[in-house]
């Protein structure tokens, strides 16, 4: 949800700043570049995404200027360098660059003390095998003129493994929504 809100705000700001929205900046090439940023920086860390974005953006600009001078003609050669960099990162730093940078900076962390003498959490008494733990009778759910569940009954006993099967649109998810309280039966 937070990522979607950020994407929404950045899209709005982009459209406001450009005064024209073109699908070209949102193509497959840019999506792959964002993936590179996440992998290079460290997809499991928020700061890794920022490090990856910075490294890829700076290297892209630097390589677009340097590679044509080295090779003598222009082209999209930075993609080859990014591919090699991706292989190296995945081989040598699977977690990305951020964990490596984080090890270089000493951070003071509070040590957690675990009380080994703590009482175990209370556990409720389990029902006997075969004892009824769930019963639903004549569950009906209608969405306007569509009847999703029509007088469905279900009984589950302790120790039993039960499956509710059927084709798409048969009302399986609707039945579970009724049982869990997400939705109310008609």
Residue 85 to residue 77: CA distance in whole angstroms? 13
Q: Helix 28-41 vs helix 46-71: angle between axes, to the nearest 10 degrees? A: 120
Q: Is residue 117 part of a domain?
A: no
State the total domains in the chain: 2
| pLDDT tens digits for range 96-113 | 888 888 888 777 777 778
Each residue's pLDDT tens digit, 34-70: 888 888 888 888 888 888 899 888 988 888 888 888 8
Same domain, 100 and 139: no
Domain assignment of residue 94, yes or no: yes
Strand partners, 155: 135
Q: Residue 74 above 90 pLDDT?
A: no
Domain holding 144, by residue range, is 132-180
Pair (73, 16) in one structural domain: yes
Instruction: Write the pLDDT tens digit of every residue in 133-170.
Output: 999 999 999 999 999 999 999 999 999 998 889 999 89
- Give the model's pLDDT for residue 121: 86
Lowest mean pLDDT among 25-39, 121-135, 166-180: 25-39
Q: What pLDDT shows up at residue 160?
A: 92
Same domain, 99 and 137: no
Shared domain check, 153 and 88: no
User: What's the pLDDT score for residue 155?
Assistant: 93
What pLDDT does 173 receive? 92
CB neighbours (10 Å) of residue 139?
19
């Amino acid at each position: 949800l937070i990522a979607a809100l950020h994407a929404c705000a950045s899209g709005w700001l982009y459209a406001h700043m450009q005064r024209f929205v073109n699908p070209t900046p949102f193509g497959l090439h840019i999506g792959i570049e964002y993936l590179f940023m996440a992998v290079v920086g460290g997809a499991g860390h928020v700061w890794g995404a920022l490090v990856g974005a910075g490294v890829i953006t700076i290297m892209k600009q630097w390589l677009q200027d340097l590679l044509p001078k080295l090779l003598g003609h222009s082209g999209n050669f930075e993609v080859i360098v990014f591919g090699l960099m991706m292989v190296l990162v995945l081989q040598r730093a699977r977690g990305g660059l951020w964990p490596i940078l984080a090890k270089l900076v000493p951070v003071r962390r509070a040590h957690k003390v675990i009380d080994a003498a703590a009482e175990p959490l209370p556990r409720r008494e389990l029902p006997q095998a075969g004892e009824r733990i769930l019963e639903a009778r004549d569950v009906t759910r209608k969405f306007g003129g569509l009847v999703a569940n029509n007088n469905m009954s279900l009984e589950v006993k302790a120790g039993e493994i039960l499956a509710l099967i059927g084709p798409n649109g048969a009302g399986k998810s609707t039945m579970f929504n009724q049982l869990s309280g997400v939705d109310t039966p008609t």
